[in-house]
Structure 1
Amino acid sequence: DLILPNGGTPAGTSSPASSSSLLNRLQLDDDIDGETRDLFVTVDDPKKHVCTMETYITYRITTKSTRAEFDLPEYSVRRRYQDFDWLRSKLEESQPTHLIPPLPEKFVVKGVVDRFSEEFVETRRKALDKFLKRITDHPVLSFNEHFNVFLTAKDLNAYRKQGIALLTRVGESVKHVTGGYKLRSRPLEFAAIGEYLDTFALKLGTIDRIAQRIIKEEIEYLVELREYGPVYSTWSALEGELAEPLEGVSACIGNCSTALEELTDDMTEDFLPVLREYILYSDSMKSVLKKRDQVQAEYEAKLEAVALRKEDRPKVPAEVEKCQDRVECFNADLKADMERWQNNKRQDFRQLLMGLADKNIQYYEKCLMAWESIIPLLQEKQEGK
């Protein structure tokens, strides 16, 4: 069974009134010491560009750094989604042993989401900002030259056309592995990682589908509430003594509608994107696992070839030793990235689930407050009789 992070659950049961402090308490545990960091990147200021052939959105990338690799202390460039896609492909190509953070999906279902709407653009901006921050926090990826070019080049197209030859030796070797070698079996620790990722993606996929159904039902309920409330208001015009209580009920339902809309928006804009990012993250990790398997399979095949002709060549050839080095490099990098990913996942899901609890508590508090507000009015009418 998949064990979700259990950190962050407050001891004891707090009163509903204290719900808004949950995230504040949580944030104290997750603050990063900014003094130890030397690279800061943000994504903001989305702008729509309408051209003859296409319409697209660009985002401002602001970089501040004290690293020697940067000629200036601060840069500001504009990038579109396909530039982020270029960066990710270059990172995969030049750093094959490392886990590359996923990008938000490029395509949306036609007619369901307007990719130029303010809500969609803001959701994507947040995802792209997180993508770059993941790279910035990585001890290897953040020093990649392609990443440097992405952050600093005024004209990225010039680099995209010429193509920078920055493949590492490991990268070149992995790139040329054709997959013709067949791995007998994964080492137990990597087999366990593969099984975990399969279960993890399955669980999140199920949560994602159910959450989407809940959101759909909430939207349908919201439509009914917006029709339901005004009926009491129009009814009040026909009633003398009941006019004030009926207007009160109408206003109460209106307040509940607003609270439900806020809850639904939060699930759509904050909850679902995190689930989908981690589903894509598991796919990225599986991809690195497959590359590791290919390199190990190549190493095993070379060892077998040497064993068959060991009488002629008693010494292990240099190419076999290099292949062994690649396997060890893959294993070390993959385990380190997996540990880093697990730490990020625990923090992200703790904050996500605490936020989900907090938003639901706020929703029910607002509904409770709305209904309680009309009780004195109804009691007055009853006493008046």
Structure 2
Amino acid sequence: MNSVLFGRNGFRVCKVCWKWCGLRRSFKKEKGVYIVDQIWKGVPEKGIKEAVSVTRLDCFPAKTLLYCNYFCLKCGGGVFVFLQDLSLPNGTPVDTSSPASSSSLLNRLQLDDDLDGETRDLFVTVDDPKKHVCTMETYITYRVTTKTTRAEFDLPEYSVRRRYQDFDWLRNKLEESQPTHLIPPLPEKFVMKGVVDRFSEEFVETRRKALDKFLKRIADHPVLSFNEHFNVFLTAKDLNAYKKQGMALLSKMGESVKYVTGGYKLRSRPLEFAAIGDYLDTFVLKLGTIDRIAQRIIKEELEYLVELREYGPVYSTWGGLEGELAEPLEGVSACIGNCCTALEELSDDMTEDFLPVLREYILYSESMKNVLKKRDQVQAEYEAKLEAVALKKEERPKVPVEVEKCQDRVECFNADLKADMERWQNNKRQDFRQLLMGMADKNIQYYEKCLTAWESVIPLLQDKPETK
């Protein structure tokens, strides 16, 4: 058992790649002790996952185990997950000073963000938008390029073309087959406010960036990136043929969630998830306020830009009537023209880079709220079934299998939701740090350009002697 990584508070860490894991389990309960049906191991280079001999975990009491065994979907390494701090049956605590302790593990996990990129084995890019004009419709397709070393792919590189509705199909399939996970949002389908032509170069480029980020987030997810529908989306030359086959069935978890209706009422959401819900409500409110104010600022900047463009040429035409003042007036006109260019660039950056991130995270938050609602529905179903069993007047009522399965689904939801929330918070921290740093840099550049433009006028005024 020395190879097992002991984690605290539900650590889920791969023993091979030392990363937080997307997990699948294989376990059963027998006489109060959990039996590992299959311990999985794998060859990271080939992605091979094979079962080895059945192992009995008699050295730990069953109550300490949250789940018995997992394997990492990223590299195939074995994973063990524990509900609480562990001690051996004789009361001896697990040595946390060993290389496999949680403190050592945290030090490994808190490496620089760039190191994570070195372990990636799936890279997806969206580029080269093309307009297609047909008899019935006009639409845009995007080239989706995939490079990978995963064994699930037959080739190391793929290139296919997809339109927006294909991305929408993928997201719907991910929601159906992975209901416990947070699915990244797509950009809004309809034309955004202020954009008249959905085929304009600016709109198409903004959407391309959003679609590229959508696929990259899925590719970086340890569970979603192994989804069958995602594989088909990246590789199939004729995606419509796959859609028509209808071969993708909902997973058992998906079916259970899909058919849970509003017939069950949740007594109370656990404090941890209630805090997440409250945070998301406040977060969306703040982002919405920033988005509205930013749009007003952009509108005022564009109105100011119109005035500047009319303001500058006046000095130029005036200079044509003057003698000695002609050069300084031309300098002022050119200065204002440079300020116009700088302001236009600043406004474009706000429109193309700042606002889309705000809107993405507003949609992201709504997606997280939907997952929370699904979790609440499953918990409400579990509570209702558990109460129904308790009402049965049997001397020693046995908990039905379906109640145990329902409890299992709740635990799955809780574990996956917390892992995705942590991943989302990390992404949010990185994205907004980059966004705010970029905004500060763009504003500095704008004011520096304006300062340089106005400073260039001063020598023209100083060199001219005053007329008597």
Judge same fold: TM > 0.5, yes or no. Answer: yes
Q: Answer whether contact 1:23 1:354 (CA < 8 A) is retained.
A: no
Q: Answer whether contact 1:26 1:351 (CA < 8 A) is retained.
A: no
Q: CA deviation at 1:35?
A: 3.0
Q: Answer whether contact 1:245 1:377 (CA < 8 A) is retained.
A: yes
Q: CA deviation at 1:166?
A: 3.6
Instruction: Return 5+ residue gaps in structure 1 as ranges.
Output: none
Q: Deviations over 1:231-262 (max 9, x none)?
A: 00000011111101000000000000000000
The count of residues paired between Structure 1 and Structure 2 equals 384
Q: CA deviation at 1:43?
A: 0.4
CA distance in 1 between counterparts of 2:98 and 2:346 reads: 20
Distance 1:42 1:18, change over 3 A: farther
Q: Answer whether contact 2:95 2:101 (CA < 8 A) is retained.
A: no
Q: Deviations over 1:162-214 (max 9, x none)?
A: 22234222111111111210001100000000000000000000000000000
> Residue 230 of structure 1 aligns with which residue?
313
CA distance in 1 between counterparts of 2:326 and 2:443 reads: 32
Q: CA deviation at 1:88?
A: 0.1
Q: Secondary structure at the match of 2:399?
A: coil
> Residue 3 of structure 1 aligns with which residue?
87
> Residue 320 of structure 1 aligns with which residue?
403
Q: Secondary structure at the match of 1:217?
A: helix
Distance 1:11 1:265, change over 3 A: farther
CA distance in 2 between counterparts of 1:115 and 1:150 reads: 24
Distance 1:80 1:342, change over 3 A: same
Q: Secondary structure at the match of 2:279?
A: helix
Distance 1:17 1:219, change over 3 A: farther
Q: Deviations over 1:114-148 (max 9, x none)?
A: 11111111111000000000000000000000000
Q: CA deviation at 1:108?
A: 1.3
Q: Answer whether contact 1:93 1:171 (CA < 8 A) is retained.
A: yes
Q: Answer whether contact 1:170 1:326 (CA < 8 A) is retained.
A: yes
- TM-score normalised to the size of structure 1? 0.91
Q: Deviations over 1:299-352 (max 9, x none)?
A: 000001000104166110000000000000000000000000000000000000
Distance 1:336 1:4, change over 3 A: farther
RMSD over equivalenced CA pairs, Å = 9.6
Q: CA deviation at 1:384?
A: 7.0
CA distance in 2 between counterparts of 1:21 and 1:290 reads: 36
Q: Answer whether contact 2:87 2:94 (CA < 8 A) is retained.
A: no
Q: Deviations over 1:252-300 (max 9, x none)?
A: 0000000000000000000000000000000000000000000000000
Distance 1:27 1:288, change over 3 A: closer
Q: Answer whether contact 2:174 2:183 (CA < 8 A) is retained.
A: yes
Q: Answer whether contact 2:144 2:160 (CA < 8 A) is retained.
A: yes
Distance 1:300 1:12, change over 3 A: closer
Aligned-residue identity in percent = 91
Q: CA deviation at 1:161?
A: 1.5
Greater helix share, 1 or 2? 1
Distance 1:176 1:267, change over 3 A: same
Distance 1:24 1:9, change over 3 A: farther
Q: Answer whether contact 1:16 1:365 (CA < 8 A) is retained.
A: no
CA distance in 1 between counterparts of 2:192 and 2:440 reads: 29
Distance 1:14 1:31, change over 3 A: farther
Q: Answer whether contact 1:40 1:63 (CA < 8 A) is retained.
A: yes
Q: Answer whether contact 1:306 1:313 (CA < 8 A) is retained.
A: no
Q: Answer whether contact 2:96 2:103 (CA < 8 A) is retained.
A: no
> Residue 104 of structure 2 aligns with which residue?
21
Q: Answer whether contact 1:38 1:65 (CA < 8 A) is retained.
A: yes
Greater strand share, 1 or 2? 2
Q: Answer whether contact 1:145 1:166 (CA < 8 A) is retained.
A: no
Q: Secondary structure at the match of 1:384?
A: coil
CA distance in 2 between counterparts of 1:9 and 1:250 reads: 82
Distance 1:27 1:347, change over 3 A: farther
Q: How does 1:241-280 map to 2 (within 5 A)?
A: 241-280=324-363
Q: Answer whether contact 2:184 2:218 (CA < 8 A) is retained.
A: yes
Q: Answer whether contact 1:232 1:246 (CA < 8 A) is retained.
A: yes
Deviates more, 1:32-41 or 1:179-188: 32-41
Q: Answer whether contact 2:96 2:102 (CA < 8 A) is retained.
A: no
> Residue 25 of structure 2 aligns with which residue?
none
Q: Answer whether contact 2:86 2:93 (CA < 8 A) is retained.
A: no
CA distance in 2 between counterparts of 1:110 and 1:52 reads: 28
CA distance in 1 between counterparts of 2:87 and 2:426 reads: 14
Q: CA deviation at 1:4?
A: 42
Distance 1:300 1:133, change over 3 A: same
Distance 1:190 1:22, change over 3 A: closer
Q: CA deviation at 1:2?
A: 36
Distance 1:28 1:123, change over 3 A: farther
CA distance in 2 between counterparts of 1:253 and 1:17 reads: 64
Q: CA deviation at 1:364?
A: 0.2
- TM-score normalised to the size of structure 2? 0.75
Distance 1:81 1:216, change over 3 A: same
Larger Rg: 2
Q: Answer whether contact 1:113 1:120 (CA < 8 A) is retained.
A: no
